[in-house]
C-alpha cells in the first residue's frame, strides 16, 4: 500500500481522541498496511498511529527491532487495534521525537515496563509485555490515539525541549 502523508502539529486531528475499532475487516487490513509502509518510510521511525495519517481510529503499529536501543529486546512488528495499558511499572526519562512534530525532540518521562492488551489483525485479543525502548515507543503511539503529543508530556519546557538539528 502507499506511504501516507504524516499530519503535523498543529493539525486538529492530532489532538482528538480516536474512535474504537469495532471489527477487523479488509479496510482495517489496508489501514495496517498503510501504517506499516508509512512507518518504514519515515526517517528513524519505530511507530505510527492512525491519527497521524488522518484516520481517527484506534490503530497503531510499532517495530523497534531495527533500532539500536532495542535490537535485543523487542517483539518485532506489533499491529495493535484498541490498545490499552493494563499495567505499568518503573519510570525513566528519554528523549523522544515524532514525525508529527518534525522540528523538535523532548525529554519525556514514561513507564519502563508496560503490559498492553489489544486486538490483532485477525481480531483476536492479545497481550504483550514490553520493556525499555519498546515500552516507550508503544506508549508514544498509544498517546496519539488519545490526542496526546510528546509535547504535552515534556518534563520541563525550559530544559526538556530541543530544536532538532537534522531529521534522519
Range of the domain at 110: 12-163
User: What span, in angstroms and rounded, lies between the C-alpha atoms of 43 and 19?
Assistant: 28
User: What span, in angstroms and rounded, lies between the C-alpha atoms of 162 and 95?
Assistant: 9
Respond yes or no: is residue 141 known to be catalytic. Answer: yes
- According to the model, what pLDDT value does residue 27 have? 97
Catalytic hit among 66, 72, 96, 141? 141
- For residue 80, give the CATH number of its domain: 3.90.45.10
Pairing of strands 125-131, 113-119: antiparallel
With respect to residue 5, please indicate whether it lies within any of the assigned structural domains.
Answer: no
With respect to residue 126, please indicate whether it lies within any of the assigned structural domains.
Answer: yes
The tally of domains found in the chain comes to 1
Structure confidence by residue, pLDDT tens digits, 27-74: 999 999 999 999 999 988 999 999 999 999 999 999 999 888 777 779
Class of residue 37 by CB neighbours under 10 A (exposed 0-12, middle 13-18, buried 19+): middle
For residue 49 the three cell numbers come to 498511529
Assess contact for 96 and 80: CB atoms under 8 A.
Answer: no
In the block, residue with C-alpha cell 521511525: 45
Of 51, 55, 6, 59, nearest to 148 by C-alpha is 51
- Lowest mean pLDDT segment, chosen from 46-50, 91-95, 110-114, 161-165: 161-165
User: What span, in angstroms and rounded, lies between the C-alpha atoms of 82 and 98?
Assistant: 21
Structure confidence by residue, pLDDT tens digits, 130-167: 999 999 999 999 999 999 999 999 998 788 889 987 65
In this prediction, residues 72-82 reach a mean pLDDT of 93
With respect to residue 75, please indicate whether it lies within any of the assigned structural domains.
Answer: yes
Higher pLDDT pick, 97 / 72 = 97
With respect to residue 168, please indicate whether it lies within any of the assigned structural domains.
Answer: no
Amino acid at each position: 500500500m502507499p506511504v501516507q502523508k504524516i499530519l503535523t502539529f498543529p493539525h486538529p486531528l492530532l489532538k482528538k481522541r480516536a474512535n474504537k475499532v469495532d471489527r477487523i475487516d479488509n479496510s482495517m487490513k489496508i489501514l495496517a498496511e498503510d501504517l506499516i509502509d508509512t512507518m518504514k518510510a519515515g526517517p528513524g521511525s519505530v511507530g505510527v498511529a492512525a491519527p497521524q495519517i488522518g484516520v481517527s481510529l484506534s490503530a497503531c503499529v510499532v517495530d523497534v527491532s531495527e533500532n539500536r536501543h532495542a535490537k535485543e529486546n523487542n517483539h518485532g512488528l506489533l499491529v495493535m487495534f484498541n490498545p490499552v495499558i493494563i499495567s505499568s511499572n518503573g519510570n525513566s526519562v528519554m528523549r523522544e521525537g515524532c514525525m508529527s512534530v518534525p522540528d523538535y525532540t523532548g525529554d519525556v518521562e514514561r513507564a519502563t515496563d508496560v503490559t498492553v492488551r489489544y486486538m490483532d489483525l485477525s481480531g483476536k485479543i492479545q497481550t504483550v509485555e514490553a520493556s525499555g525502548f519498546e515500552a516507550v515507543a508503544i506508549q508514544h503511539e498509544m498517546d496519539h490515539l488519545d490526542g496526546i503529543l510528546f509535547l504535552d508530556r515534556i518534563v520541563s519546557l525550559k530544559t526538556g525541549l530541543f530544536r532538532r538539528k537534522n531529521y534522519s
